[in-house]
Amino acid sequence: MKYSICIFQYPGALGQQVLMIGAVQARNNARAVFTGSLEMFSDAFLSASVHKVGESSADRSGNLDLVTALSKWAFKEVGVLRVKKVEHHLAGNRDVPREYTIMQEVEYAIEIEELRDGKWLPFDGKDVQLEFVRIDPFVRTTLSNKNGRFSARFKLPDVYGVYKFLVDYRRIGYTHLYDVQQVSVRPLLHTQYERFIRSAYPYYASSFSMMVGVVLFSIAFVHFKEPAKPPTAAKKTN
């Protein structure tokens, strides 16, 4: 069907730009919901019925469920996350060290809870990630979830410095979850290095060969004697 009505003014919104209902969450987790009309919250809209094609009876629409879900989300009754507990330590040791050493095995765990029906329950997420950051991430891994306790085990990088255990969880419908734990990673002590480093074997061989060469040269120099020259007869002159 074609319309012959002339448009004298371009509409302010068209196509996918038109939203009957819009929801937004700010960086500080503040929430706002925008609707096209206040009639959306009226009794007539909430109790409206829907006639399905080919059926004479009318079913109740989902307007009430929609408004209820939007209201709970806007007033932070659902979709709210919080950090209950964070811990990190060496693998096999529950004590938290003052500082870590490069290339050590560490374990990290964070407990996350979600607000549901007025109660804080374990968060059932599968995509929470941990980053071990020093300016740039050196390690990025997905945490395994066990009843709201997200944990991971990994090996520290071989670069010392000041690092951060960083969890920055951003998902649509949930509040922004951000947690940082700063730690220091130091180099190996002199007593922690290997006695002989495999990659330095060529240098060890050259050093020992030079020592052997000096000893042999010293022995040859000390015990070497020049052969005695035969005596020559002096010429008689008259």
Domains of the chain: 15-74 (no CATH), 81-190 (2.60.40.1930)
Rounded mean pLDDT of 43-67?
79
Query: Which pair of structure tokens corresponds to residue 223?
Result: 């015990």
109-149 pLDDT tens trace: 999 999 988 899 999 989 999 999 998 999 999 999 999 99
Judged against a pLDDT cut of 80, whether residue 238 lies above it is answered with no
pLDDT at 131: 94
**In which residue are the tokens 């700010």 written?**
26
Q: Is 156 exposed, middle or buried (0-12, 13-18, 19+ CB in 10 A)?
A: buried
Rounded mean pLDDT of 181-200?
82
State how far the Cα of 107 lies from the Cα of 93, in Å rounded to an integer. 9
pTM above 0.85, yes or no: no
Single-letter amino acid code for the residue at 33 = V
Judged against a pLDDT cut of 70, whether residue 3 lies above it is answered with no
Query: Which pair of structure tokens corresponds to residue 202?
Result: 């060529």
Judged against a pLDDT cut of 70, whether residue 4 lies above it is answered with no
pLDDT at 224: 75
Indicate the range of 55-59, 60-64, 76-80, 86-90 predicted with least confidence: 55-59
pLDDT at 197: 76
- % of the chain with per-residue pLDDT over 70: 93
Judged against a pLDDT cut of 80, whether residue 59 lies above it is answered with no
